[in-house]
Chain A
Amino acid sequence: MERDRFLTRVGQATLSSVLPAPPRVAPGLPELADIDLIALFRTRAHEVNAVIHGPVSRHGVPRAVVGIAAGHEASNFLAWDHLPAPGVSSALQSAGLDRLDHEIGGGSPRLERNLSYLGLDVGVTGTTAGLAESGSVVLVHGSGRPRMASIAPEVHIALLDVATISRTLAHWAHENPRFAADTTNLVLVTGPSRTGDIEQQLNLGVHGPRHVHVVMIR
C-alpha cells in the first residue's frame, strides 16, 4: 500500500479511537542523590557476569588487556581502530596474537570476511559510556569501529572511561538526547550473551560472547 493511503487510514482511526488520557508526569527526570557510580557499576556488572578490571591509568591498559587475553589463551583478536587508550593492538600483537582485518572491500568480500570470524577469540572495543544501574556499557559503531568485535568473539574486552559512567539509561539519554539520531548503530552491552529458554536455567555464551571484561580507565 502507498504511504499516504496507509497513514490516512491510521489517522482516521486515531480520530475515532477512545484512548484514555495519558497520565500527567513531571518533565525531565527526578533528581537522584549522589552515589558512588563506579561502585554501583562494579556491583551490577558483576551481577550480570561481566568481569571488571581496574580502574587503571591509560598507560596500564595495554598490559591489562594482554593479561586478559592470555588468561583465555587467545591466539587472535579484532580491535577497534580508535580506543580510549593507546598501544593496545600493538601490545596484543607483540604478545603473539594475530590481528584480524575488519574492513569491507579492500579485497575482502563480505562472506570471506564474515567466515574469518569463525575462530575469533578476542574482540577489543572502546565505549562511549557506562550505565551504573544495569552494569551496561554503550558502544557506538562507525568508521574504524566494527560491530563484529563485540558479537563474534568468545571474549569481548570493553575499555570504559569511568568519567563517562551515568546512573541509568534514561538519565544518559536525557543528557544525550541526540544519540540515536547521530549514529548508525549503537548497542548497550550488559554482560555476556545469555539465555534461560531451556527450563528457565540461566546459561551464558549462547550466540554472543561467553565472556565480557570491562577495563575501567581513570
Chain B
Amino acid sequence: MSEPVTFLSRAEALIGSHEAQAVESGIRNFLVRREHAFDVFPIGEELRDRTRAIRLHALANLDRLLGHFADKLGEAGGQVHWAADAVEARQIAADILKRSDAKLVVKSKSMVSEEIEINEHLEEEGMTVLETDLGEFIVQLAGDTPSHIIAPVMHMTAQDVGRLFAEKLGVPYTDDPYELNRIAREHLRESFLRADAGISGVNLAVAESGSVILVTNEGNGRYTTTAPRVHIALMGMERIVSRWEDASVVLETLARSATGQHQSVYTNVITGPRKETDPDGPDELHVIVIDNGRSDILGGDTAEILACIRCGACLNACPVFRTAGGHAYGTVYSGPVGSIVTPGLYGMEPWWELPYASTLCGACEEVCPVRIQIPKMLLQLREKAAAEGRLPAWLERGISRYGRTVSDPQKWASAKKWASRLSAPISSDGWIGRLPGPGRGWTQSRDLRRPAKESFNEWWRKNRGT
C-alpha cells in the first residue's frame, strides 16, 4: 500500500481520527492558557513591536551578527562550525563525536536536528542517540514523528503512552500522566549522567557575547548540556539577536506566546564550555551553524518568515492545523509557519501544496508575536505555484474563462442566464444537491444555492434603471 503523498490525502486520513481529536483538545487547552498572557505583562502589546524590531534588525544584519557571534564564542573557548546543508551538518557532528570517542549521546529537543535527520546518521555511525524531552522520548520509543512544534505528542492520549511504556520499557501499565512522567524520569536519569555527549538546539543566540540560549521546562536541556563532556548545539543560522538586552525581550515574548507562561522553567544562557575553575559543565562546546536553504529564503520574497521565534502560536490559531493536525503537513515544520518555510527550504516540489492548505483567515498573523505577515507570503507562494503551472487545468481554464466573462457586461449577463437555466434540472427548491466534476468537492457535504432566475443587475435594470 503506498503512502499518501499530498497534504489533502494525509488530512483526509487524519480528520476525525483519534489522533486529530487529541490534537484539537490539546490546542484548546493551550489557547485558554495563552489568552491573557500578554495582557498581564506590563508592556504586553508593545512587546510584539519590540520583538519584531529586534528580529528584523538581526536578519538584515545576519552575516555581521554571525561573524561577531563566532568571534566571541571563540574567545570564550567554544568552537563554531559552519554547515552549508544537512549533509555537512551531520558530518560535522559525527566527526566531533567520533573524535571524542562518544558512544552514548543524549539529545534535548531541537527542530533543526530533525530537519537535518541527525539521529539516523549518528546511529549508522555506531552511536546510541537518546531523545530526552518527554514528548520526543515517547515519539522515539514509538518510532513515530512529532505532530506539533511545542507539544510533540499532542496526538497521543495517556492510554496510548501507557501502552507504549508497558510494551517497550517493561513497566506495569498505567495511564496516570504523573506516573508516566516518573517512569520516564527514572528511565532517563542514569543515561544523562553516563552520556558522553549532549546535543541540543539553540532557541536564541546572542551575537555580542557569543552565547547560546536554551529554553526548556523539563530540565533535560540542562542535563544534556551540563553532565556530558561534549556539548553540541545545532543552530538554525537565523536564530540570533544582537545583544543580551534584545534576547531578554524576545524571551519575555517566547514563553508567553508558546504556552502562556511568564517564563519557561529553565532559561539557560551558555557562553562557552566550562572554565578551568568551573566545578561542572562540558569540556567542549561546539556550535554548528546551519544554513540548509535559509540563505535562499533570506534572499527571496519570504525572508520575513525567518523572524519566527518558534513559539507555535500560529499552529494553535490555525483552523486547518486544528482540524488536520501536524502530521498532515508531512514534514518537520507544520502549520502556517511550516507552509512557508518548507517550500523555502526544500523547494516547490512537492511542497507547493502547503501554502494552499489555508483558508487565508489571518488568525496566524493576528497571534504572531513577531507580527509576521503570513497570509501575504502564502499568497506570494501561491502566485509562484500558479506561475509554475502547478494548478490543475480545470482551475486555470475555469478562472481564465470566468475572468473574461465577468469583465464583459454582455457576456456576464448572458452567462448568468445560462447558469440559471442549466441548473434548473438539477435543482430543487432553489438548491443543488449534487454537482459533477470538481463541483463534487462542494456537494459531498453541502448543498449549493442555485443561480438566481433574475440577477440583481437584471432586477435593477427593470425596476430602477434610467
Asked if the two chains touch in their complex, CB atoms less than 8 Å apart, one says yes
With CB as the reference atom, state the residue of chain A lying closest to B188. Answer: A207
Given A19-B304, A198-B181, A207-B218, are A186 and B269 also a contact pair (CB < 8 Å)?
Answer: yes
Cβ of A34 < 8 Å from any Cβ of B? no
Chain A residues numbered 171-218 whose CB sits less than 8 Å from any CB in chain B: 172-174, 177-181, 183-201, 203, 205-209
A203 touches which of B25, B43, B178, B272 (Cβ 8 Å): B178
B151 touches A17 (CB 8 A): no
Interface flags, B192-232, vs A, CB<8A=1, else 0: 11100000000000101101000001111011001101000
B270 touches A25 (CB 8 A): no
Given A3-B70, A19-B60, A104-B280, are A173 and B244 also a contact pair (CB < 8 Å)?
Answer: yes
User: What distance in Å separates the Cβ of A45 from its nearest Cβ neighbour in chain B?
Assistant: 10
Cβ of A126 < 8 Å from any Cβ of B? no
Task: Give chain B's interface residue range (CB within 8 Å of chain A).
Answer: 35 or more
Within 8 Å CB of B368, what residues of A? Answer: none
Cβ of A169 < 8 Å from any Cβ of B? yes
Within 8 Å CB of A86, what residues of B? Answer: none
Given A6-B291, A10-B62, A168-B42, are A148 and B280 also a contact pair (CB < 8 Å)?
Answer: yes
Roughly how many angstroms separate A187 CA and B304 CA in the complex, as a whole number? Answer: 30
Cβ of B135 < 8 Å from any Cβ of A? yes
A9 touches which of B25, B80, B161, B295 (Cβ 8 Å): B295
Task: Give chain A's interface residue range (CB within 8 Å of chain B).
Answer: 35 or more
User: What distance in Å separates the Cβ of A62 from its nearest Cβ neighbour in chain B?
Assistant: 22
A1 touches B222 (CB 8 A): no
B219 touches A32 (CB 8 A): no
A201 touches B193 (CB 8 A): no
Interface flags, B219-255, vs A, CB<8A=1, else 0: 1101100110100000001000001110111011000
Binds B, one of A67-75, A89-97, A111-119: A111-119
A197 touches B134 (CB 8 A): yes
A207 touches B291 (CB 8 A): no
Cβ of A53 < 8 Å from any Cβ of B? no
Chain A residues numbered 131-168 whose CB sits less than 8 Å from any CB in chain B: 131, 133-136, 141-148, 150-152, 167-168
Cβ of A39 < 8 Å from any Cβ of B? no
A206 touches B304 (CB 8 A): no
A170 touches B304 (CB 8 A): no
Within 8 Å CB of A205, what residues of B? Answer: 181-182, 185
Roughly how many angstroms separate A131 CA and B26 CA in the complex, as a whole number? Answer: 30
User: What distance in Å separates the Cβ of B175 from its nearest Cβ neighbour in chain A?
Assistant: 9
Given A12-B299, A104-B280, are A184 and B76 also a contact pair (CB < 8 Å)?
Answer: yes
B269 touches A195 (CB 8 A): no
A1 touches which of B82, B157, B265, B271 (Cβ 8 Å): B82
Within 8 Å CB of A146, what residues of B? Answer: 279-280
B281 touches A184 (CB 8 A): yes
Within 8 Å CB of B298, what residues of A? Answer: 10, 13-14, 17
In the A-B complex, the 9 residue pairs with the smallest Cβ-Cβ separation, listed nearest first, are: A208-B219, A173-B248, A134-B262, A13-B299, A207-B219, A181-B209, A11-B63, A197-B135, A13-B298
What is the interface of chain B, defined by CB distance below 8 A to chain A?
22, 25-26, 29-30, 41-43, 46, 49-50, 52-53, 56-57, 59-63, 66-67, 70, 72, 76, 80, 82-84, 88, 132-135, 138, 151-154, 156-158, 161, 177-178, 180-182, 184-185, 188-190, 192-194, 206, 208-209, 211, 217-220, 222-223, 226-227, 229, 237, 243-245, 247-249, 251-252, 259, 261-275, 277-281, 289, 291, 295-296, 298-301, 303-304, 371, 373
